[in-house]
Chains A and B, each alone.
Chain A
Amino acid sequence: MSIEVENISKTFGTFTALKDIRLSIGTGELVALLGPSGSGKTTLLRIIAGLETPDAGVIRFHGEDATRQPVGDRGVGFVFQHYALFRHMTVFENIAFGLRVRPRKLRPSNEQIKTKVMDLLHLVQLEGLAARYPSQLSGGQRQRVALARALAVEPKVLLLDEPFGALDARVRQELRRWLRRLHDDIHVTSVFVTHDQEEALEVADRVVVMNEGRAEQIGTPEEVYEHPANPFVYNFLGNVNLFHGRVDKGQARLGSLAVDAPAHAGGQDAPVVGYVRPHDLDIARSRNGEPTIEAVIRHVHAVGPVVRVELERRDTGDPVEAHLTRERYRELDLRAGEQVHIKPRKMQVFAEDYSI
């Protein structure tokens, strides 16, 4: 089932949670709402679920207006951030709840409920734990019970609020790969909220980057990571180095670098910032006749597959971070205190006055 979010706005008192959000989610898609806390992502999820009502705008499920539809009638599954399992019920009863509360005519028989719950327990790999209480489970197990409970009512849309937020790092990674595989198997339209960019980029088909109640960019993980629409997205999706300078007639001058900035062709001598990811920054021992920025190596972290080099620019004193492969690092044989030349392989230039 597809979801259309049309011009949704929401305020809480004087706080604007959502400003004119537009979003279209295709059937079977797995979409991440990514943003810092207070960006409105959870509010948007709760509006889609029907747990909040928007001040303006329309939510459509499969083309039909669902904005005023009560939460219980929307056919959504919702996984709460802290799972919200029924603490006085066993795992079995938690999962069976959505079936047991159905009107008598639609309610499956006890046998059917039992089969269904056992199938779901198998799906979430918790077969032996049907008789346990939520308090007797680990965080990851609770998460999977919450998911099974949401899936029991065969929702057309699955909504997850920070599904891995309360878990430790290793369990998180396992569980998000598992969620991705599960989604590929059952193919229910899914939306999840996260503040972890790695999580969003790894799991989702499409990512909605949110900030201060707006959708800053919507696109596939590759799109938003490789071509951020603005400085906020650039900053939020990983480390970035900033090179301040000025642009004039489509030519940006950033320190001793000169870069083509066709997007700013019309601008007359305006301040700009160049954004460069650490892995797009090359380090060289000599200038080789090209314009470069001189920098001094402050520190080298050579642990792990990527070598992180902290540098300080000679001209401005600003810190710069570069990521090298191990091979390149060995080739250059860098030491702290040495003077080198840095040159961005790829850079995106935005106007300075853009407010983040």
Chain B
Amino acid sequence: MAVTTIAPDRAAAPPQTAREPFWVRLLLIGTALLFLGLFLVVPLLAVFTQAFEKGVAAYLEALREPEALSAIRLTLIAAGIAVPLNLLFGVAAAWAIAKFEFPGKNVLITLIDLPFAVSPVIAGLIFVLLFGSRGGLFGPWLAEHGVRVIFAVPGIVLATIFVTFPFVARELIPLMQAQGVDEEQAARVLGASGFQMFWRVTLPNIRWGLLYGVILCNARAMGEFGAVSVVSGHIRGMTNTLPLHVEVLYNEYNFVAAFAVASLLTLLALVTLVLKSVVEWRVLREQRRGGAGGGNHTA
């Protein structure tokens, strides 16, 4: 009870920081805004002004040309394969790590972080070394059977999966560890099958964390440049994803088209940020609902 009666008082008192002198506040807020403006807002505006420099018609034209459409399609394919796979992998890995004790657990956790630690270019090179048709480890054998990985769509998908696989698992592991296994065990005792337990108990408990991980994973999958650049071969209309297409256009001094395509990726980033904020807000609200009831122990 004490907690619930004290909390409103605390909320009513002005926070300590608001008592700083006016000029200090002005300086701090001003610096922060200036920095944000220079490094985030101005570039963002620049992307759109450059994209529309020659009018809306030119903008739309740049997006409608076959090579741009092909790049959009390839990006959607790569993300469409990588995100669901990493969703599955992430849930499975987080489940194993959070709910079971087994030898090699720490090795697995380290391996999941590997793509964060390795430069994307190196990641791309790894796949070239493995699947390159000349000198690659499996490349010649695959080539004999008519499968092309490097400089083709499979390589791009593989590189995308590699670079994005920590996102979902990293998001879920601490969440699932904090939740423990009691609820799952309760479900089993009550007669739920493994699938019912997962579907009715585990999944609802991790749903927001999972969505958060998927959003970040998707953003990275669509925006990845380095690793994909190494394995793609930059074949126009064939193996160019959106970021690669932007580079190609820019190198050809086709600025309007380059920025028009770049604006698509920028929009994707903005949508991602909004979704991320919505999810964060939902999580906070759920925690608050939990916290409010938790303090009231003696009723």
Using CB atoms and an 8 Å cutoff, list the residues of chain A in contact with chain B: 49-51, 71-73, 76-78, 80, 82, 84-89, 97-98, 101-102, 133-139, 141, 149-150, 152-153, 168, 171
State the Cβ distance, B289 to closest chain A Cβ, in Å: 6
Residues from chain A with a CB closer than 8 A to the CB of B291 are 135
* Chain B interface category by residue count: 20 to 34
With CB as the reference atom, state the residue of chain B lying closest to A78: B189
How many A-B pairs with Cβ below 8 Å?
86
B189–A51 touching, CB < 8 Å:
yes
Distance A137 CA – B191 CA, assembled complex (angstroms):
25
Please pick, from A80, A135, A149, A150, the residue contacting B289 in the complex, using a CB distance under 8 A. Answer: A135
Given contacts A84-B185, A87-B290, contact A98 B296 (CB under 8 A): no
Residues from chain B with a CB closer than 8 A to the CB of A137 are 293
B297–A139 touching, CB < 8 Å:
yes
Residues from chain B with a CB closer than 8 A to the CB of A88 are 204-205
Using CB atoms and an 8 Å cutoff, list the residues of chain B in contact with chain A: 182-183, 185-193, 196, 200-201, 204-205, 289-294, 296-299
A84–B186 touching, CB < 8 Å:
yes
B293–A102 touching, CB < 8 Å:
no
Distance A209 CA – B168 CA, assembled complex (angstroms):
47
Residues from chain A with a CB closer than 8 A to the CB of B204 are 88-89
Please pick, from B189, B298, B299, the residue contacting A71 in the complex, using a CB distance under 8 A. Answer: B189
Given A136-B292, A150-B190, 14 other A-B contacts at CB below 8 A? A51-B189, A71-B188, A78-B186, A84-B186, A85-B183, A87-B290, A88-B205, A97-B200, A98-B191, A101-B187, A101-B193, A138-B299, A168-B298, A171-B298
Binding site secondary structure of chain B: helix
With CB as the reference atom, state the residue of chain A lying closest to B192: A101
A51–B185 touching, CB < 8 Å:
yes
Given contacts A138-B297, A153-B190, contact A86 B201 (CB under 8 A): yes
B189–A72 touching, CB < 8 Å:
yes
B185–A133 touching, CB < 8 Å:
no
Residues from chain A with a CB closer than 8 A to the CB of B183 are 84-87
Residues from chain B with a CB closer than 8 A to the CB of A80 are 182, 185-186
A87–B205 touching, CB < 8 Å:
yes
Residues from chain B with a CB closer than 8 A to the CB of A49 are 189
Given contacts A72-B191, A77-B189, contact A101 B182 (CB under 8 A): no
A136–B293 touching, CB < 8 Å:
yes
A149–B297 touching, CB < 8 Å:
no
Distance A73 CA – B154 CA, assembled complex (angstroms):
46
Distance A165 CA – B291 CA, assembled complex (angstroms):
21
Given contacts A71-B188, A71-B189, A82-B182, contact A168 B297 (CB under 8 A): yes
B294–A97 touching, CB < 8 Å:
no
Distance A238 CA – B8 CA, assembled complex (angstroms):
45
With CB as the reference atom, state the residue of chain B lying closest to A98: B190
Distance A72 CA – B193 CA, assembled complex (angstroms):
8
State the Cβ distance, A131 to closest chain B Cβ, in Å: 13
Residues from chain B with a CB closer than 8 A to the CB of A86 are 183, 186-187, 200-201
Residues from chain B with a CB closer than 8 A to the CB of A78 are 185-186, 189
Residues from chain B with a CB closer than 8 A to the CB of A133 are 289, 293
State the Cβ distance, B151 to closest chain A Cβ, in Å: 47
Distance A134 CA – B292 CA, assembled complex (angstroms):
11
Distance A181 CA – B201 CA, assembled complex (angstroms):
32
With CB as the reference atom, state the residue of chain A lying closest to B189: A78
Distance A35 CA – B284 CA, assembled complex (angstroms):
41
A149–B298 touching, CB < 8 Å:
no
Q: List 27 A-B contacts (CB under 8 A).
A: A51-B189, A71-B188, A72-B188, A76-B189, A78-B185, A84-B182, A84-B185, A86-B201, A88-B204, A97-B187, A97-B190, A98-B191, A101-B192, A101-B193, A101-B200, A133-B289, A134-B293, A135-B290, A135-B292, A135-B294, A136-B292, A138-B297, A141-B299, A150-B190, A152-B190, A168-B297, A168-B298
Residues from chain B with a CB closer than 8 A to the CB of A101 are 187, 190-193, 196, 200
State the Cβ distance, A178 to closest chain B Cβ, in Å: 16
Distance A67 CA – B177 CA, assembled complex (angstroms):
29
State the Cβ distance, A247 to closest chain B Cβ, in Å: 50
